[in-house]
Amino acid sequence: FLFELVVGFVYAWQIGSLDWE
């Protein structure tokens, strides 16, 4: 299901943005 893919992508993007910020 694409939901897991979207959630995983968004989650990693959010964490990455905050972490690399």
Report pLDDT for 2: 86
pLDDT at 19: 60
Tell me, what's the pLDDT at 12? 86
pLDDT, tens digit, for every residue of 8-20? 888 888 886 666 5
What is the b/e burial string over 1-21, where b = at least 16 CB atoms within 10 angstroms of the residue's CB? Answer: eeeeeeeeeeeeeeeeeeeee
Helix residue spans in 1-21 (DSSP H)? 2-20
Q: What is the pTM of this model?
A: 0.34
Token pair of 16 as six digits: 């990455």
Q: What count of Cα atoms within 13 Å lies in the side-chain half-sphere of residue 5?
A: 2
